[in-house]
Amino acid sequence: MQYRNSILAGAVVAAAGLALSAPLANAQSTPYPSKPISIVVPNPPGGVVDTSARLIADTMAKQLGQAVVIDNRAGGSGNIAYQMVARAPKDGYTLLASYSAYHVGNPSMFAKLPWSQKDLVPVALITVATNVITVNPAVPANNLKEFIAYLKQNPGKVNYASQGNGSLSHVGTELFTQVTDTKMVHVPYKGSGPAIQDVLAGQVQVFITTPPSVIGHIQTGKLKPLAVTSKARHPMLPNVPTTAEAGLPGFELEAWVALFAPAGTPPDVVAKLTTNVKQVLEQAETKKRAEAVGIEARYLDPAGLGDLVAKDSEYWGKIIKAKNITAD
């Protein structure tokens, strides 16, 4: 009788073990993705970063068979969103649309950050946006060489606008003054909108920014474009020379947006995501949509994106420290 009870007890324990292990086995074998994916955007809707994330989200969702949701978490110079993703589960369901100015600039501008680059693993580069050097029409210069000469003749008498302390327009313009050995006075704003309004009014004279925010004012003659800061001319500004064509070779200023996941995300999940993004960016419709809003769809794999982060971190870190730039 005791022997029979032991058999029964053993059977019960074995059955219980099978019951407990079944859900675990099923969970481990569940293919990715099996639920919606969130892309956290460190900016409000409508900007370059948000636009880049939305450029790929719908097509990613169709190809992966799960919804891809945009989650805008603006504030804190991007640090709110970066911290959120850095601390998210390492399962590929919470991703970050990272902005280059935050990703490679913040580590040099903040004494202490709630995240680090090591907390994030590269997935894929999504887009690149060049910048255009614009001035108020009252500035007595019709090309970049004349503008640089004017700055040299009037050191510290010309004001330039930025989207805020530590923004790409701030760091980029300081780089411009360093390369050209000129001096301008920085006037920071809370975003492109108010900055553009004061440049239009002539209260500040210069604004280096992405073409979509100023293209309309350029077309109506309210702003004067001197050069685009890229290797090739911008499709929305075909008559505006590059900085190299305008006599300033080597000065390039591009912003990028890329997809990252929490460090520790399984390699097979990262591989599936980067392959998916590559396929989305290679579609003619994606490229067309990107060009229509003034950005370029450009893919880099995780290794290439990692190299870009390392190179840009060193490049921007030097100018940020040399100019003693801090964020708001």
Q: Is 190 found in the same domain as 164?
A: yes
Opening angle at CA 219, ends 215 and 225, nearest 5: 70
Domain count, the chain: 2
Q: Is 259 found in the same domain as 118?
A: yes
Contacts 24+ apart (CB under 8 A), 177-180: 177/151, 178/319, 178/322, 178/323, 179/248, 179/250, 179/251, 180/148, 180/151, 180/248
List the helix and strand counts (H, then E) for the chain.
11, 11
Q: Is 219 found in the same domain as 138?
A: yes
Average pLDDT over residues 200-208: 97
**Which is higher by pLDDT, 191 or 180?**
180
Cα–Cα nearest to 32, from 198, 265, 297? 265
Which range has the top average pLDDT, 124-138, 156-170, 209-223? 124-138
Boundary residue ending a domain (228, 243, 274): 228
Average pLDDT over residues 184-196: 92
Residue 22 lies in a domain: no
Q: Is 216 found in the same domain as 188?
A: yes
Q: Which two tokens stand for residue 4?
A: 């029979």
Boundary residue ending a domain (185, 212, 228): 228
Give the CATH number, domain containing residue 140: 3.40.190.10
Q: Is 112 found in the same domain as 42?
A: yes
Residue 234 lies in a domain: no
Residue 65 lies in a domain: yes
Determine contact, residues 85/123, Cβ cutoff 8 Å. no
Q: What is the pLDDT of residue 142?
A: 95
The string of pLDDT tens digits covering residues 66-103 is 999 999 999 888 999 999 999 999 999 999 999 999 99
Cα separation, 255 vs 295, in Å, equals 10
Residue 272 lies in a domain: yes
Model-level pTM? 0.83
Residue 2 lies in a domain: no
Residue range(s) defining the domain that contains residue 121: 37-128+255-322
Determine contact, residues 250/88, Cβ cutoff 8 Å. no
Q: What is the pLDDT of residue 276?
A: 97
10's enclosing H/E stretch is: helix 2-29
pLDDT band per the 50, 70, 90 thresholds, residue 328: low
Q: Is 148 found in the same domain as 101?
A: no
The string of pLDDT tens digits covering residues 51-74 is 999 999 999 999 999 999 999 999
pLDDT at 23 > cutoff 90? no
135's enclosing H/E stretch is: strand 132-135
Give the CATH number, domain containing residue 316: 3.40.190.150
The string of pLDDT tens digits covering residues 315-327 is 899 999 988 888 7
Q: Is 212 found in the same domain as 268?
A: no
Q: What is the pLDDT of residue 47?
A: 83
